[in-house]
Amino acid sequence: MTGRNLWARAYGAPWWHLLVLALGFLVAGYAATRVVDAGIWVGFVVWFVGAVILHDLVLFPLYSAADLAARSSLSHTPHRGRPAARRRPRPTGRRPAPLNYLRVPTAFSGLLLLVWFPLILHGAEPNYRAAVGLSTIPYLNRWILVSLALFAASALLYVLRRLAAGWVGR
């Protein structure tokens, strides 16, 4: 047995996986030392634990339920009671799944909102104005425009792929 096969069998992944994992731990360790050196480790731990709890107990069930609802509403299974003659014929080309074209822009829009919500929702107005002398008013409009652009690009890509799938079968 070669060294590569022995490594893959013992570790379960390629060698570069362990290298990337070690580099990730080094970066996290460096960040932890910077937090401790700055003297803000208690606030960081509280924030980190709060973020984990918020995600696992609130956000994860919400976006899982939304995804389940979207999957059930976009399901392509034909109604069992319909006669076979009235069903539409299946296309010969592979049609893209529409749900993925909703998931991606929703995820990016939600991530932008999660990262920038104090500015988008004007919660940081006094601190932001004191720090940089500007208002937080443009952030909501910009977030909406970026979200609209993400959904528009995703819809355009879906239409193009749907058209391409239709042409493959011809």
Q: Which of 92, 105, 113, 90 is nearest to 157 (CA)?
A: 105
Q: Identify the pLDDT of residue 74.
A: 77
**Cα–Cα distance list, 113 to 67, 119, 146, 154 (Å):** 18, 9, 11, 18
- Asked if pLDDT for residue 18 goes beyond 90, the answer is yes
Of 32, 40, 103, which is closest to residue 69 (Cα–Cα)?
Answer: 103
Q: What is the mean pLDDT of residues 152-164?
A: 93
Query: Which range among 22-36, 100-114, 127-141, 155-169 shows the weakest confidence by mean pLDDT?
Result: 155-169
Q: What is the model's pLDDT at position 160?
A: 92
CA–CA distance from 133 to each of 119, 124, 125, 138 (Å)?
14, 12, 10, 14
**Tokens 């570069």 belong to residue:** 16
Determine what percent of the chain is predicted with pLDDT higher than 70.
85
pLDDT digit string (tens) for 130-152? 999 999 999 999 999 999 999 99
What count of other Cβ atoms lies within 10 Å of the Cβ of residue 165? 15
To 10 degrees, what angle do helices 15-38 and 41-54 make? 130
Calpha distance 105→150 (Å, rounded): 5
Where residue 10 falls among pLDDT bands split at 50, 70, 90?
A: confident
